[in-house]
Homo-oligomer: A and B are copies of this chain.
Amino acid sequence: MTIKDIARECGVSISTVSRVLNGRPDVREEVRQRVLSCMQRHNYIPNNTARDLVKTSSDTVGLVVRGVSNPFYANIIKTIQQEIDLAGYTLVMQQIHSGEDEIKCGAIMEREKKLRGVIFLGGRSDYTDAEIALVNVPFVCCSYTNSYGNLSANRYSSVSIEDEETAFRAVEALYHMGHRRIAALISEKDDRSVSELRYGGYLRALKTYGVEQDDDLVVCAGNYDMPGAYHAVRELLQREKEFTALFCISDSMAIAAMRALKDGGVSVPESCSVFSIDGLEMAEYTDPRLTTLSQPTELMGQESVRTLLGLIEGNSAHKQVIVQAALKAGGSVRPI
């Protein structure tokens, strides 16, 4: 009696039998029972050597951070680490650049470190079934979700704000303050990720309020870094197009943008309002303080760990958790 025979008799795939053997959560209860009773009936004894080969070491969880030294992640990483420790697991972290492939990195880590699960902190929002099949353990997307993909809701887990809607709210707020010439500082228009989503919210807000969209008011930094943001805004100023407000897709980019505006002779908020998204601690100390829609980072870290451990321990199903961004009013915006 082999695993193949069990699979044939139960009418399931070999990998399903293997998942049952390894106590994986992604097997329907009815199927699990059918496989287990078939094994009992035949006194099937799993080949332990073979099982050990594919078994994960017992307590390691991976964290893949995409976007090296993004200060927005600091508080989430701290929370994830604390929660993983409290739960008795070990966290192994890997940081990659925002251009790298987090799924591939997670898949390699999973095998090398024998992970029980992975949290992806930052990533693309357009995964396919084939792509995520690379990762053989439960995973949670933290700070993003499958907005552009076609994964069914019972195939993946995520914890995030509604990026498009949050950007819409920021630009809407600028509109209500009287701004009509609203520029945007983004990373890329089509990165299938946070930048594209927040850019989408910007476009929808302009459209909703009947504001003509001007491509000359949109600058792409090409990345999420501060030097990139700084140079993009310097370039925006060189276009000599009038604008009274600048929407930035992240706080760290907004801080670099305020520096670029100042260096270009534009005072914030007198000549240009700046509004962004994230809620960095540092943004409370800049001059002027940044007005931003703040993400609940501690809650996001906690929910990510809770969701992942539920999946690992088999007592909960995939879910997409949406959290709310809250306004932190600074001094970087003014009504006109």
A residues in contact (CB < 8 Å) with B? 20-25, 36, 39-40, 43-47, 49-50, 53-54, 56-57, 60, 68-69, 71, 74-75, 78, 81-82, 85, 90-95, 107-108, 111-114, 226, 230, 252, 255-256, 258-259, 262, 281-282, 284-287, 289
Contact = CB atoms under 8 A, between A and B. Distances in A.
Nearest to A60: B56
B50 A49 contact: no
A49 B56 contact: no
Contact of A23 (B50, B92, B111, B284): B111
Nearest to A107: B25
A113 B255 contact: no
B226 A255 contact: no
Contact of A71 (B74, B82, B286): B74
A68 B85 CA distance: 15
9 contacts: A23-B111, A39-B50, A40-B49, A69-B281, A78-B95, A81-B93, A226-B284, A230-B285, A259-B286
Contacts of A25: 107-108, 111
A93 B80 CA distance: 12
B56 A36 contact: no
A78 B259 CA distance: 26
Interface SS of chain A: helix, strand, loop or mixed? helix
Contact of A95 (B53, B81, B112, B113): B81
B94 A56 contact: no
A47 B37 CA distance: 11
A92 B91 contact: yes
A312 to B, nearest CB: 18
A107 B282 CA distance: 33
A256 B230 contact: no
A276 B230 CA distance: 23
Contact of A81 (B94, B230, B282): B94
A75 to B, nearest CB: 6
Given A93-B81, A112-B24, A53 B36 contact: yes
Contact of A287 (B50, B90, B262): B262
Contacts of A252: 282
A20 B259 CA distance: 53
A71 B69 CA distance: 9
**Most chain B Cβ neighbours within 10 Å, of A24, A25, A258:** A25
Nearest to A33: B14
Given A91-B92, A91-B93, A285-B256, A23 B54 contact: yes
A68 to B, nearest CB: 5
A257 to B, nearest CB: 9
Contacts of A230: 285
Contacts of A46: 49, 53
